Amino acid sequence: MAKPPKYAPISDYLLAAAKAGRETVDLDFAQLADMVGGLPPTAYRMRQWWANDSKVEARAWRAAGWHVETVSFDRQRVRFARGEVGGAYAARKARERQEGSRPVPSL
């Protein structure tokens, strides 16, 4: 997966964080905007912009092996976590609910 030029600094930052042994990274929207030369207005108001899907911005963090774990619009912060989680937030939550409803195997 090639890094998109505009969002390549996010990939680079997350790759460095992984190399340093970090499992999560919290960044302000302002920090991310500085890295990439500005975020679009939708990043400040729509959870879908932060989805772990195939959009250009998501390919940047996914290419580095990270995913968006949480987004706070009130605090204007995003938490990235190591590991690849595909799909949108709603799809991930639906999978978690489904997995949570499966019976736990006995030991």
Kindly give the pairing relationship between strand 66-72 and strand 24-28.
Answer: unpaired
- State the pTM of this model: 0.76
Tell me the longest C-alpha to C-alpha distance in the chain: 53
3-state secondary structure of 70: strand
pLDDT tens for residues 62-79?
999 999 999 999 999 999
Query: CA 94 to CA 7: how far, in whole Å?
Result: 28
Give yes or no for a contact between 24 and 61, defined as CB atoms under 8 angstroms apart. no
Full DSSP string of 20-41: TT-SEEEEEHHHHHHHHT---G
pLDDT tens for residues 34-62?
999 999 999 999 999 999 999 999 999 99
pLDDT tens for residues 12-32?
999 999 999 999 999 999 999
pLDDT tens for residues 82-92?
997 755 555 55
Helix (H) or strand (E) holding 58: helix 56-63
The alpha carbon dihedral of 44, 50, 54, 56 has a sign of positive
